Each structure stands twice: as C-alpha cells, then as structure tokens.
Amino acid sequence: MTKLWGGRFSGQTDALVHRYNASIGFDSRLYDEDITSSAAWAEALADAGLLTGAERDDLLAGLEQVRGEFAAGLFAIAPDDEDIHSAVERRLTELAGPVGGKLHTGRSRNDQVATDFRLWLMRACDRIDAHLAEVQRALLHSAAAALDLPMPGYTHLQHAQPVTWGHWALSHFWPLARDRTRLAAARRSAGVLPLGAGALAGTAFPIDRARLAERLGFTAITPNSLDAVSDRDFAAEFLFFAALLGVHLSRLSEQLILFSSAEFGFVRLDDAYSTGSSLMPQKKNPDTLELTRGKSGRLIGHLTGFLATLKGLPSSYDKDLQEDKEPVFDAADTLELALPVMAGLLRSLELRPERMAAQLEAGLLATELADYLVRRGVPFRAAHHLAGQVVRRGEERGVPLTELSVEELQAISGEFGEDVAGVLSIPAALAARTVTGGTAPAALAAQLAAARAALDS
Ligand code: ARG
C-alpha cells in the first residue's frame, strides 16, 4: 500500500473505489501549477526554518525534474497515483529520496488543490481573454469595412428600420466587451491564495503567506482557512462568464446562419468555415456556427451543474469539490476552440451588399413619415396613426409608400408638404439618427472609435 494516507488502513481499497476516487485522469493537466506551487511551498518552508537550504534545493531540483518528465510526455502514472498531487510527490520522492517526504509539511491537498486550480484558471483566463480580443478585432474590422453599408434592421425578425452593416457588427462587439469585464473579475477572484489554510484550520508552522502569494502571482491571501479550502466562487464566476459568452456567441451564430441562408443571402461563408453534405451536392452548411450555437448549451450546463454540486456543502473541504475541475476544463477548452474559429469565420466573411439593398423596401421608412409630422408639431400618437394610414393607402394601391404623391399624402394629413420626399429615403433615415449609439454616419464613426479605444485599453 503506497497511498499517501495509507497509515491508518489495513485493508486494500476496492479497485472500483480506487477508480471512483481518483482524479488523476483529468487533473494531471494541473501538473505545471502543482509543481510551481510546490516549489513556492518548499521556499516558504525553508524561510520558516523547516527545511535546510540544501533540502530546499534538493526539493526544487527534484520538482524541476518531475516537471521536465511531464513536459516531455515521459511521466509514468503509477497505479496508486490518486491525483496529480500524490503523483508528483511520489515521483519527487523516487528522484530526490526521503527529503521528498518533507515537502508536504504543514500543507494539505485541500489547500494545495485550491491553489493549483486557481493558478490554472488565472492562466486560462489570460489565454481566453486574448482569444476574445481577436473576435472583437474581427468584428471591428468587419464594421469598419462596411460602416455605412445600409441593410434592413429587424425587430421580431421583421423589417423595422434601416441600419448599417457596421452598426450590426458593432452590436455584437459590445457584449464581448462586457464578457471581458466579467472574465477579468473571475480572474481577480481566482487570484486570492488559499495555501497556508492547511486541511481546514490553518497551517501550524510560521509560513509567511503574503510572501508566498507574491511569489506565486496572487494578489491577496484568503482570510479564513475553512472558507479557503472550499471556496470555489472563482470557478462558478468563470463558468457564468463562459455560459453568458456562450449565449452571446450563439446569438451571433444564429444571426449569421440566417444571413447566410438563400432567403437572406446577406453574407457568404468562406469555404474554410463551412462544410458540405454527403448526399446533396449543392449544400454548403454553416456547421461551425451551428456547433457554436450548440455548444452554448453545454456551457450553460456546466454552470448549472456546478452550482448544484456546491449548494449542499458545509464550509471546509468535501470530496464533492473534486467535481470542480472537469466543467471548468471543458468550458475553457470549448472556448479556446470556439473563439478562434469565430474570429477566423468573421474575418473571411464575404458581404453581399446587393442582397441587402434588395431588402431595403419602403416599409422601413414608415417611421420617417411619423417623425416628419412630429417635427411639424403633430403629437406622436396622432402622427403614428396618420403614417399608418399612409402605409395602408400604399397597400390598397399596391405601391410602396414612397410612390404615393404629395396630394395623396395631403389627403391623409394637411401637414404633409413637398419636402416630405426629403425624409423618405434610406440615407435620410440613417442620417437622422445622430444620437450616441445611433445609425447615422457620424454616430457610427464615434462608436467605432469608442470600440477601438475599448479594445486597446
Ligand atoms: N483530488 C482532490 C480534489 O481534486 C484533491 C484534494 C483531496 N483531498 C482530500 N482530503 N481527499 O479535490
């Protein structure tokens, strides 16, 4: 029996129970963080007078050897290795000799795993943030290239008012900016060091936790050891970030799936980002977008599943917490693929202005009629009603409302004058919306500049 905790046991662990208990199958990807935190711990033990300088150096050298074996894919997991922490310590002791047995002084796997996991997540947050910025950059690029390109705007997926491609593209930029704020907050939450909490009550040795935190790149230390070994808020925050980002990516995907359909035809996906059908030779399917839309379900599942895992736990460590890693790893892996795929797809997206123009029908201008009357002093409710009558007259006559004569308009309201034609055009409708966030060229230029600034900040 070579289990870390084997001393008080006389019987063997049931083979199935060993498998059930073991997390090495998924937590070996924490090896680098485990070795980094162990090295810092060895330094802290030496600082506290619990290791001689020579012992510390032997441990550090041994740990680097273990790290090298992992990095080279040469680390052999032994049958009794329960998790990454026991595996590293077992191998360290094989390499460095009995001094390996001193490393775990004053430490528990409970504070160790929380430390490793936080370190891993901080690094993952940095990678994901860079991927997110790339998607934003791709949206910004697309927006800038067709900032003033008119297209129909929709509410309820029905023609509403004219907007522009740039306006639409930026509408998907800002949710990602908010996602990055949430990601930064999750990273900050992860950056609080639990090491020194021991199993639950705090280590009994004079460890300088603040120094340890600094060494490992944490910005604070946990204030309560019972909380420290069971706090997984940072993981939940990350999973919420991932779930909501998944929702945003799914909405963008859904809209691009629609826009690339024969019915809309506003965009064409590059061959590199679509796939064919094994049966229908003409098909070009938006599989990448569909996968991203589909994977958002899995991200939401990770969040709700993990919250359910946490909800019944008393403070301090419970083995339930071993369930924290797989959802977080999978969410991170999912995003680290979905985000670069989305960035590439957006960058290679072909716009089809003629198909957008074909949908710019006069109905999109009905609001302009009402606004025209409002500028003449007609109360908006009445103006809305009168503009509605114009729409109906056009339908009765089977012509777009822009084809009705001024006389016909005046029969509906005497407030209509010759100058009404001036507001009844797509460029005029766009130009009228100069408000911050609006679709007028100057407002869009300002928004684009704000987006650029947000990206570079
Ligand atoms: N593999 C465990 C986990 O992932 C490490 C901590 C185990 N602690 C314990 N007392 N059994 O949570």
Residue 143's CATH number: 1.20.200.10
CA–CA distance, 247 with 435 (Å, rounded to integer): 28
Q: Which of 85, 248, 277, 296 is catalytic?
A: 277
Distance 243 CA to ligand 1 centre (A): 26
Residue 322 CB less than 6 A away from ligand 1: yes
Q: For residue 308, is it within any domain?
A: yes
Q: Is the pLDDT of residue 61 over 70?
A: yes
Average pLDDT, the chain: 96
Tell me the CATH number at 35. 1.10.275.10
Helices 209-216 + 31-47 axis angle, to 10: 140
Same domain assignment for residues 151 and 182: yes
The pLDDT score that the predictor gives to residue 2 is 64
Q: Is the CB of 83 under 6 A from ligand 1?
A: yes
The verdict on 305 and 395 lying in the same domain is: no
Catalytic residue among 156, 278, 405, 457: 156
Q: Compute the average pLDDT of residues 347-359.
A: 98
Looking at 73, 105, 137, which one is the last position of a domain? 105
Q: Are residues 24 and 84 in the same domain?
A: yes
**One domain, residues 213 and 351:** yes
Q: Which of 342, 358, 374 is the last residue of a domain?
A: 358
Cα(149)–Cα(351) distance, integer angstroms: 10
Give the mean pLDDT of 333-356: 98
Residue 121, pLDDT above cutoff 70 = yes
pTM: 0.95
Calculate how far, in angstroms, residue 56's C-alpha sits from the geometric centre of ligand 1.
25
Q: Is residue 305 part of a domain?
A: yes
Range of the structural domain that residue 41 is part of = 6-105
Q: Identify the helix (H) or strand (E) that includes residue 131.
A: helix 109-145
Gap from CA of 111 to ligand 1 centroid (Å): 9
Domain count, the chain: 3
For residues 79 and 95, state if they share a domain: yes
Ligand 1 contact, 110 CB (< 6 A):
yes
| Boundary of a domain, candidates 51, 71, 105 | 105
Instruction: Give the strand pairing for 158-164 and 150-155.
Output: antiparallel
Is residue 81 predicted with pLDDT exceeding 60? yes
Quick check: CB of 28 below 6 Å from ligand 1? Answer: no
Over residues 419-457, the pLDDT tens digits come to: 999 999 999 999 999 999 999 999 999 999 999 999 988
Q: Is residue 172 part of a domain?
A: yes
Model confidence pLDDT, tens digit, residues 126-174: 999 999 999 999 999 999 999 999 999 999 999 999 999 999 999 999 9
d(C-alpha 53, C-alpha 271), whole Å: 61
The predicted structure's pLDDT at residue 90: 98
Do 336 and 436 sit in the same domain of this protein? no
Q: Is 156 a catalytic residue?
A: yes
113 CA → ligand 1 middle, Å: 7
Q: Whose CA is nearest to atom 3 of ligand 1?
A: 322
Number of helical (H) and strand (E) elements in the chain, helices listed first: 19, 6
One domain for residues 86 and 226: no
379 and 329, same structural domain?
Answer: no
Residues 265 and 399 in one domain: no
pLDDT at residue 1 greater than cutoff 50: no
